[in-house]
Amino acid sequence: MEIFTKQLTPIDFGRGLELPPRSNLEPLQHLQGTIELSTIVESAAGTRLPEPVTIHCSTIRGSLVFKTGWFGIAHDFALKSGDTVTFYQEVNGGAQFKLRVRNVC
């Protein structure tokens, strides 16, 4: 189940990845405060980081923002403004979060 897709902006690399207003927050609504999401990260080509990344998600000014963990992902995949990320939940007997990154060039 897709939670959000977002084209990255310069702000996403400075303040953290702010979830878009139209995000499907149903899978996250039981979570409050700062939460940790163990997330499998893969490129559009299917290349995965060797281990899941723990992303800290917290509420800032009324919006959910990915902070710790996100900055490492952005660095590891050489993400830049204009690239796209899709965050989703795969349910196969248990909840598992995934983040797919797509570089523009």
In tens, the pLDDT along 11-20 reads 999 989 998 8
Mean of pLDDT values over 47-73: 86
pLDDT band at 58 (very low <50, low <70, confident <90, very high): confident
Domain residue spans in the chain?
2-102
pLDDT of 70 strictly over 70: yes
Q: Where are the alpha helices (DSSP H) in 8-98?
A: 11-14, 70-76
Q: What topology does CATH give the domain 2-102?
A: At1g16640 B3 domain (2.40.330)
Which residue type does 73 have?
I
